Structure 1
Amino acid sequence: MNRIWAILFGMLAFSALAQDANYPNKPIRLIVGYAPGGATDIVARSIAIKLQETLGQTVIVENRAGAGSNIASEFVARSAPDGYTLLLGTIANATNMTAYKNLGYDTMRDFIHITQTMTAPSVLALHPSVPAKNLREFVALAKQNPGKMAFSSSGSGGSPHLAGELLKLRGNIDLIHVPYKGAAPAMSDLLGGQVQMSFQTALSAIPHLKSGKLNVIAVASKKRMGVLPNVPTMAEAGMADFEVSSWNGLFAPAKTPAHIVNALYTATIKAINTQDIKDKMEAQGAEPVGSSPDEFKAFVKAEIDKWEQVIIKSGAKMD
């Protein structure tokens, strides 16, 4: 009897290995922690099409919005490590490590970091009523009016919120944070003058810059943006070491086999290096990245550490 069980277990193990070696042999789910139509969802659907072409299997984008993307992240972290359930994670997977207590997952422990897919630097936008032409003038104005100037964000804990908190720390100024339920209402009240400033994506800011409804005084990146060549970086404007970008990248559950991770990495790099994906990202004020798994893991750890300090030092409220 023991011999029969041994044979059966051996057959099952062989079958599992065979399926594993033939990866992928069924549809793949790419989980997004936000509603359809947003920036992360658009990137996910663009990449999914390219992954299908390379891997020869359907890649289904599945939106599981809520709790600052924690619902989606926890779902993938607890999924089978077989390469069929993936996460297009974002900066929230770094900030949420400090912003939320009792998370159901750990970004460093529970995932394999496959590659960073894109980065989109934030830009500092002012309402035209603010009499400041550059960053130094804005900081000086805020110091003259402590607690009287406000900035909008798409919600507590997101990169626009934390960029504002970082500006408060680095500039030693007192600004009021006004969180909204999404980027659209945050932009709407900035345009209406209900708040004086906001960190926005270039994609959302440029049309209003061209129409004169906003002034963009700096970009929060190491170098100037091609779509805003005349706008200085925060460092050029007088505030060194100030980099804030929305980013996303591909994650798989921990313990996913190395050859599956390699297959996904190779296919994703091929996808984001196609000209149409590059064009789509550039149109959104973003750039493809394509880092190695080790580089992406180190980047995410650095983001966690960076934003932990900002959240703690600023006392930023996440509710």
Structure 2
Amino acid sequence: MTHIARRHFGLTALAATLIGCSASAWSSDAAYPNPARQVRIIVPFTAGGSSDVQARMLADKLGRLWDQPVVVENKPGAGGHLGGRYVADQPADGYTLMVGSIGLHAAYGIYKKLPYNPATDLRVVTVLAEMPHVVVAAPALPASDMQQLTALAKKAPGTVNFGSAGVGSSVHMMGELYKLQSGAPIVHVPYRGSSAALNDLLGNQIQLMFENPPTVLGHIRAGKMKALAVTGKQRLAALPDVPTAAEAGIQGFEATSWTTVAVSAKVPPAIVEKISADVRKVINTPEFRKGLEEQGMTAVANSLPDAQRFVAQEKVRWDRVILEGKVSAD
């Protein structure tokens, strides 16, 4: 065999080896999840909020289904976009999931200079759950219903403050929707997560929040804050005596917030399909659905195409609120 022939043979063998290694690596990915790897669920908000509660429920059940560790990490900041960008930048292996929200997927129009594009850099694999919000007030606020709240805010503009989990969060956007529909000039005070805002509401440092049910039900039942309305079409089973916003006289103030399970858009379609199928399998178990209901949430678990259509429709809805309410984070 000539020197050139031997060299050609060697290069051919090397190429075959590399192709074999590549196929082996793909086979490893296709066998997702690998029990030797740790799966992380990123919560882009502080611990203790609704997204955190859902993520920990999901981590527990996915860990059992996959028979491997699934851990929750909180990465709050920038209305959730610190965590959102972190997930978008992770390796395309499917081992980093995220519990997303309205702020991340539908209300990011308030930011004009985000360092990433949530629509193209993240992929929603399913909508996890949806829930109405609860309008909660400090006991000292001299208003016991929504009409009294609106009258108070209009009588003394700038004196009623509402806290949120951050600019663009669902908690913030619900407040902006109320302002738009009622004309009440309430003032937004953003926090680094709902927990800090709730602490100030309990301490009468702010007067109002438009919060997710899981984080306020205990405080309402203990008499530490009062519930003025819920934002859904129907009353909340966990708060049967609290009227809907429509029943309370605020027409058009009807919306639910929702959470998603999302991954980096770079994750291969086969792995995305696997994650979507397994997450939906977990959400649809009676135990998980009951756990959500006890927290005032309703399971969704829709398919990949349906989830992406839903998010696109919600983006149009919240873009209108942002435009008409002149809401901006810049």
TM-score, structure 1 as length reference: 0.87
Q: Distance in 2 between matches of 1:72 and 1:233?
A: 33
Question: Any gaps of 5 or more consecutive residues in structure 1?
Answer: none
Q: In the alignment, which of 1, 13, 31 is matched to residue 22 of structure 2?
A: 13
Q: Distance in 2 between matches of 1:186 and 1:171?
A: 23
Alignment of structure 1 residues 88-127 onto 2, 5 Å: 88-94=99-105, 97-127=108-138
264-273 or 130-139: bigger deviation: 130-139
The verdict on how the C-alpha distance between 1:150 and 1:97 changes in structure 2, with shifts beyond 3 A counting, is closer
For 1:22, give the aligned amino acid. Answer: A
Q: Which residue of 2 aligns with 1:64?
A: 75
Per-residue deviation at 1:93? 0.8
For 2:168, give the aligned amino acid. Answer: G
Q: Distance in 2 between matches of 1:188 and 1:72?
A: 23
Q: Which residue of 2 aligns with 1:264?
A: 275
The verdict on how the C-alpha distance between 1:135 and 1:47 changes in structure 2, with shifts beyond 3 A counting, is same
The verdict on how the C-alpha distance between 1:260 and 1:67 changes in structure 2, with shifts beyond 3 A counting, is same
Deviations 1:238-293 (A, max 9, x none): 33443344432111222433332222122111212233323432332222221111
The verdict on how the C-alpha distance between 1:36 and 1:189 changes in structure 2, with shifts beyond 3 A counting, is closer
Q: Which residue of 2 aligns with 1:161?
A: 172
Q: Which residue of 2 aligns with 1:31?
A: 42
Contact 1:133 1:217 (C-alpha < 8 Å) held by counterparts: yes
For 2:17, give the aligned amino acid. Answer: L
Contact 1:142 1:174 (C-alpha < 8 Å) held by counterparts: yes
The verdict on how the C-alpha distance between 1:203 and 1:78 changes in structure 2, with shifts beyond 3 A counting, is closer
Q: Which has the larger radius of gyration?
A: 2
Q: Quote the sequence identity (%).
A: 37
For 1:234, give the aligned amino acid. Answer: A
Q: Distance in 2 between matches of 1:180 and 1:35?
A: 10
The verdict on how the C-alpha distance between 1:134 and 1:104 changes in structure 2, with shifts beyond 3 A counting, is same
How many residue pairs align between the two structures? 319
Q: Which residue of 2 aligns with 1:172?
A: 183
Per-residue deviation at 1:192? 4.3
The verdict on how the C-alpha distance between 1:129 and 1:37 changes in structure 2, with shifts beyond 3 A counting, is closer
Q: Which residue of 2 aligns with 1:77?
A: 88
The verdict on how the C-alpha distance between 1:44 and 1:150 changes in structure 2, with shifts beyond 3 A counting, is closer
TM-score, structure 2 as length reference: 0.84
Q: In the alignment, which of 302, 308, 321 is matched to residue 297 of structure 1?
A: 308
The alignment's C-alpha RMSD in Å is: 2.6
Describe the SS at the equivalent of 1:72: helix
Contact 2:78 2:167 (C-alpha < 8 Å) held by counterparts: no
Q: Distance in 2 between matches of 1:255 and 1:221?
A: 35
Contact 1:81 1:253 (C-alpha < 8 Å) held by counterparts: yes
Contact 1:122 1:221 (C-alpha < 8 Å) held by counterparts: yes
Q: In the alignment, which of 2, 13, 35 is matched to residue 4 of structure 1?
A: 13
The verdict on how the C-alpha distance between 1:151 and 1:52 changes in structure 2, with shifts beyond 3 A counting, is closer
Per-residue deviation at 1:297? 1.2
